[in-house]
Structure 1
Amino acid sequence: MSERKNRSEKQEVKDTSKEKKLEVVAGILLCDNKILCAQRPKGKYDYISYKFEFPGGKVEAGETAKEALCRELMEELAVSVREEKLKLYDTVKHRYPDFEVTIYCFLCPVKCIDIQLMEHESAVWVNRHELGQLDWVEADLPVISKLMEDASIFEGL
């Protein structure tokens, strides 16, 4: 009996060596003391579907993080951003049930323009104190907390 129990206990241990690991970039778009928050569409994983995030995506082979973010913002929002305007704000590692993600979050000053939602369900511009009112993906929560406390993010833009 105890041998059988031990065998089943071993089967319950999750093998994390095969877990998918992603490197992604996120743009914290800043304009007139507001921050752009984009709502994800329905996706493969319910735990991130319809949650808010900072726009961005995967870093492709041969790309720098800044190059990836410029490409992703053009693809997702039709927003053109110059690499030299991007400033690394935070790096977050987070483990979801099905994958692990490292997110490089950049402050991204932009002119207030109309964005085109090509991949997101919706988007809103909010002040930093309103960030906590939205339903965010878990990986972004440490950045949300930091932004809500950081009055300097709009300085020098």
Structure 2
Amino acid sequence: MENKPTYLFVVAAALINQSRNILVQQRPEGKQMAGLWEFPGGKIEADETPEQALVRELREELGITVSEEALNPVAFASEPLGSKHLLLLLYTCQYWAGEVQNLECPDMKWLPLDELQHLDMPPADIPLVNQLMAAL
């Protein structure tokens, strides 16, 4: 009998500022794939919708308030990750309240979309950049 995969559901946001740059943050030391650049976001908890999880993650990681209506689904990635299988949902977001603060990561930066292609990113984030470029 074949083992069924254990899924890891994750959400991320491509925050787009008024200059049309996109926010990426660096994974902290001590976490898997530390030092790589990624879109802000995180795991979906059992009692959350993807949108609720992303609103929570953006508040925790960046100190901003986002409404679910401001999140637009744009891309997804499916990637084996050790003994689990990662499903990563990417949303765009252009509207939020508060100043973006770096609360949990070693570094973050706003970059033009085409520069995201040159970053060291986790394997699941790489196809998202191409999908994001096609969508925007």
Instruction: Give 1:42's match in structure 2, choosing from 29, 49, 53.
Output: 29
Query: Deviations along 1:28-66, whole A, 9 cap, x unmatched?
Result: 101121100111111343xx1110111101111121110
Distance across 2 between alignment mates of 1:44 and 1:17: 27
Q: Does structure 2 retain, via aligned residues, the 8 Å contact 1:19–1:100? A: yes
Larger Rg: 1
Q: For residues 31 and 113 of structure 1, do their structure 2 counterparts lie closer, same or farther at Cα, with a shift above 3 Å needed?
A: farther
Query: What TM-score results when the alignment is normalised by the length of structure 2?
Result: 0.88
Amino acid at match of 2:9: E
Q: Structure 1: 5+ residue runs without aligned partners?
A: 1-15
Deviations 1:83-142 (A, max 9, x none): 101110012111123432111110111369642222211111011111112111111010
Kindly tell me the number of residue pairs found equivalent between the two proteins.
Answer: 135
> Identity across aligned pairs (percent)?
36
On the 8 A contact 2:16/2:93 being kept in 1, the answer is yes
SS at match of 1:31: coil
Structure 1 stretch displaced more, 103-112 or 122-131: 103-112
Aligned to 1:17: 3
- CA RMSD after TM alignment: 2.2
Q: Counterparts of 2:130 and 2:65 in 1: how far apart (Å)?
A: 27
Alignment map for 1:127-138 (pairs within 5 Å): 127-138=112-123
Alignment partner, residue 17 of structure 2: 31
Structure 1 residues 100, 40: CA separation in 2 closer, same or farther (over 3 Å shift)?
Answer: same
